[in-house]
Amino acid sequence: MTTTNDAEVLFERKGAIGQIVLNRPKALNALTHSMCIAMKAQLADWAADEAVRAVVVSGAGERAFCAGGDIRALYESGKAGTPYALSFYRDEYILNAAIRHFPKPYIALIHGIVMGGGVGVSVHGNHRIADESTVFAMPETGIGLFPDVGGSHFLPRCPGEIGMYLALTGARLKTADALYAGVAAHFVPKASWDALIAGLADGDAPDAVLGRLAKAVPDAPLAGNPQSIDRLFAGNSGEAIFDALDADGRTWARETAQTLRTKSPASPKITLRQLRESRRKGIHHCMRMEYRMVNRIIAGHDFYEGVRATIIDKDGSPKWSPVALEDVAAPAVDAYFAPLGQGELALD
């Protein structure tokens, strides 16, 4: 969708729907703090408006639905000690929970890149529609972070150990794999999106519109490898998963282990605990846990080093601390999950 309005996020009533357009195409529609606040407020208004029967969210431009949060702004805020970074995460997580509990159909039209924060404003909706260009990933461990925006909630609910595989490796999924993993629910070719929006605007139920327009997709590559993923990522420690990959001997396992060894050594350990502990937890528990975790990330070292190496200097050579998985002690992992006292995330 192309727009000429300069606002970072656009809201429009169109017949029976409220339409949200993430409108920073030059920044791949990366989320800002003000966008999160505006979306939460608008959703509250539309939830109370009987004339709005559903909400549709999409991204401007051809390249991305939403590539995540504005990482550079978060990096600069954290380095300078300003409140922006934690304020952003707080209100982003509140928005994620609000989407999960939105009382009307919330329909995300996912095209191009959908990563990080873009996943958070799509995957918690009850209708997640991918087109043929969709590329999904949760690449946070590569910058010393963890799969947040409710990753604690949706990743453990992927088939088998696919969620753990995606969380630790940051692997990118195209449309068929995104559907197989459950992060997308329907495939509608981009050429049919105008008809989809028109049907919803006319008041048709989402399932009826999707019954007319959704198409089958070819077999997903992930579907051919579930037993290997389930076996190799079933461990209850980072060391167990690394050992299983090292012992496997196949090229895929070796390359996957190499990928994991490029990440911050703390990230696999906290991510594994995050996902294992939240398998049967509700969204509010997950978001509060992630807010505890991100507070410690912002106060630490590896996030800034990961962003520096990936986005600022782009040298691809982060200097992690600690430098090895075995150097990340259990008390250090426990500290990420410790309560925040009066600083806990407040949810409705």
Residue 282 annotated in active site: no
Nearest to 11 by CA among 84, 100, 3: 3
User: Cα separation of 43 and 265, whole Å?
Assistant: 38
Catalytic one of 92, 131, 148, 290: 148
- Which sign, positive or negative, has the C-alpha torsion 157, 160, 161, 165? negative
Catalytic one of 116, 117, 163, 235: 117
Residue 92 annotated in active site: no
With b for 16 or more beta-carbon neighbours within 10 A and e for fewer, the 100-110 pattern comes to bebebbbbbbb
Nearest to 184 by CA among 251, 245, 127: 127
Residue 140 annotated in active site: yes
Neighbours of 254 (CB within 10 A): 13
Query: What amino acid is encoded at 204 in this protein?
Result: D
> Taking the CA of residue 133 as centre, how many other CA atoms within 13 Å lie in the half-sphere pointing to its CB?
15
Catalytic one of 92, 140, 177, 302: 140
Nearest to 30 by CA among 78, 84, 74: 74
Catalytic one of 18, 69, 144, 238: 69
- Structure-block tokens of residue 242: 């690394």
- The β-bridge relationship of strands 64-66 and 17-22 is unpaired
User: What is the chain's length?
Assistant: 348
Residue 239 annotated in active site: no
User: Cα separation of 233 and 217, whole Å?
Assistant: 27
Contact by Cβ (8 Å): 2, 61: yes
User: Cα separation of 169 and 98, whole Å?
Assistant: 28
Catalytic residues: 69, 117, 140, 148
